[in-house]
Amino acid sequence: MPEQNSPRVNWNRGAAGPAINAPPAVLAVIGGLVLVHVLLNLLGENWRVWSLFALALIPARFTDPGFPMIEGSQYWSLASYMLLHGDWMHLFFNSLWLLIFGTPVGRYLGSGRFLALCLLAGLAGGLSSLALHWGEEIFVIGASGAVSGLLAAAIPIMYARPAQGGGRPLSFGELVSNPRALMFSGVWLALTLFSGAAGWTGNSFAADSGIAWEAHIGGFLGGLAAFYALARRAVRPA
């Protein structure tokens, strides 16, 4: 593919826009998460308990036929767990990071591919939690798997190589050899592991408010893979 046809990201400042200049798909996802949380709080304790058993990822459901559940929920919960949050602080941080890192990804990929990346990263995060906690009676909730995937997808865009008319996202080979991108990823990994030990915000275990750090890492890797798979055109070095 000729270099002049490579994808571009235009970082030039244009005319003043709205205060929150995020793609509609990003705002729609945040709005959906907020709506679910508001409705569950308005509906009361019984509905919040029901939502955990209907939507949260519970590894015990894959190994214990007697565990209370809706038939089939063990499968759809690999995605639906992202709709639930433990409290307002949990929702706030996930929404904030989604806005920050989802905006450049949404602009580059477009709405459909952006939503697909969120889903794939969330699934990767859910599968990572399932693998490391197979058969355990825990409730994994939160959208941080998808958020971590968006963060990963944003890295090759944030460190785009200069090109005529804007910038070109890093290819995977350029990404793993870029010191700044690697340092950013390393800091994120360190904070993720520390948050898992210290109990910061993120994907949580509803039972003890712990942090499902493995969902963060699984989502990060899934989001990075999804970005290169979903990119509009092959991303190649100059």
> What pTM value is reported for the model?
0.82
Instruction: Specify the amino acid at residue 38.
Output: V
What's the pLDDT at 238?
42
Token pair of 69 as six digits: 């559940």
Phi first, then psi: give them for residue 135, nearest 5 degrees. 80, -5
Is 236 within the bounds of a domain?
A: no
What's the pLDDT at 12?
42
Range of the domain at 135: 22-230
**Residue whose entry in the numeric block shows the structure tokens 């949050």:** 85
**Residue 39 · residue 130 · CB < 8 Å:** no
Is 28 within the bounds of a domain?
A: yes
Is 2 within the bounds of a domain?
A: no
What's the pLDDT at 212?
66
Is 177 within the bounds of a domain?
A: yes
Phi first, then psi: give them for residue 57, nearest 5 degrees. -85, 115
* Position 165 confidence tier, pLDDT thresholds 50, 70, 90: low
pLDDT digits (tens, 9 = 90+) for 192-237: 776 654 444 344 444 444 456 788 899 999 999 999 999 865 444 4
Count how many domains the chain has. Answer: 1
Token pair of 156 as six digits: 């090759």
pLDDT digits (tens, 9 = 90+) for 83-122: 999 889 989 999 999 999 999 999 999 999 999 999 999 9
The domain that contains 81 carries what CATH number? 1.20.1540.10
Model confidence at 41: pLDDT above 50: yes
What's the distance, CA 151 to chain centroid? 7
Q: CB neighbours of 4 closer than 8 A, spacing ≥ 6?
A: 164
Element (H, E) at 98: helix 88-109
What's the pLDDT at 39?
96
What's the pLDDT at 213?
76
